[in-house]
Amino acid sequence: MITNSSFPGAVRAATFDRLSTPGYRGPVALAVLLAVVAAAPEGSVHGTVATAVVVAGFFVQVPVVLLATVGTPGVVVLALGLAGLAASPAVRRRVRRLPRPGNSVLLGCALASGAVVLGFSVPGEDYGLLGLGLFALALLPFAWFAWIARQTVRAAAEPAGEAGTVRRRGSWRWVAGPLLVGAAALSISQDVPREARFSVSRPALTSYAEQALAVGATDRAPAWIGGYPVQDTELVDGGVRFAVTGSGVFAHHGYAYFPSGGPTGHPSRYTQVDGRWYSWSGPDHF
């Protein structure tokens, strides 16, 4: 019998046991890695991931640009062929027998989509979070199909009558993952993550900026202001400029506050966000 006092401990133990099963190890590892990257935006893990994203983007972009003219008709023909294949009764029967995505798949999709949204929530983008999220989204379908193949082989090896296939309830599982990815893509296309994060952090940023202007110094700037990790806070052009830690790759990015007028030095690097606030980008260090 579980008493009221031991019930929370039993729930925690059951949750830990569930998350420690093989199917959940991937999402747990992804969550830990995302936490490390988010907590240390200037750390070696963050820098390694950001550099890998830039290099991978270059190698992906070059063949896409070179083969765009020749490859587009081929992609259309391939898409039509796959559509015809998917419409065949044999393929549809096989698809209906596929196990629905489990909780670990949906959890991984949610973590990866959230990382992409957070990566786009800062000026200049956080390529550490963005890269991890995109990599996880790209890898997730292959990991799921590999799990299905493993379960199929294991079921075939079991004696007749003992093999079983996990049939999770709820057809909503087929659409939950695409909906998560679609919602993330839609919010990014409307610049919702960046605007929302700035709106939440604006009071704290404004309070510190006005205090720094009053005392004429920024040497006591905290590591976090509002929802942003900040560095290189400085007085410039009668205002205060913040560099967001971990944003961009080859240049610093951040926000600037000008209580009377706009920036006078390098105005092309600034974009007005709202009222006295501007986003800015520094010179490239590449």
The predicted-structure confidence for 142-160, as pLDDT tens digits, reads as follows 888 777 777 777 766 666 5
DSSP state of 21: S
Q: Evaluate whether 276 touches 238 at the Cβ level (below 8 Å).
A: no
Q: What is the pLDDT of residue 1?
A: 46
d(CA 242, CA 252): 10
Of residues 184 and 67, more confidently modeled:
184
Lowest mean pLDDT among 32-46, 58-72, 163-177, 258-272: 58-72
Cβ burial of 164 (10 Å; 0-12, 13-18, 19+) is exposed
Asked if 171 and 100 touch (Cβ cutoff 8 Å), the reply is: yes
Cα torsion through 194, 182, 112, 46, rounded to 10: -40
Residue 163 confidence (pLDDT): 46
Which residue's structure tokens are 């410039």? 236
pLDDT interval class at 58 (50, 70, 90): low
Asked if 265 contacts 254 with a C-beta cutoff of 8 angstroms, the reply is no
Q: How far apart are the first and last CA of the chain?
A: 65
pTM score:
0.77
Percentage of the chain lying above the pLDDT 70 cut: 70
Binning pLDDT at 50, 70 and 90, where does residue 15 land? low
Determine the 3-state secondary structure of 231 from DSSP: strand
Measure the CA angle with vertex 76, ends 70 and 78; round to 5°: 100
CA dist., res. 177 & res. 233, Å (int): 40
Spatial distance between the Cα atoms of 31 and 110, rounded to a whole number of angstroms: 10
Distance CA 270, CA 255 (A): 9
Mean pLDDT of 209-224: 88
3-state secondary structure (DSSP) of residue 241: strand
> Mean pLDDT for the chain?
78
pLDDT at 219: 80
Say if residue 94's pLDDT is above 50. yes
Neighbours of 279 (CB within 10 A): 19
What pLDDT, in 10s, does the model give residues 39-54? 888 778 888 888 887 7
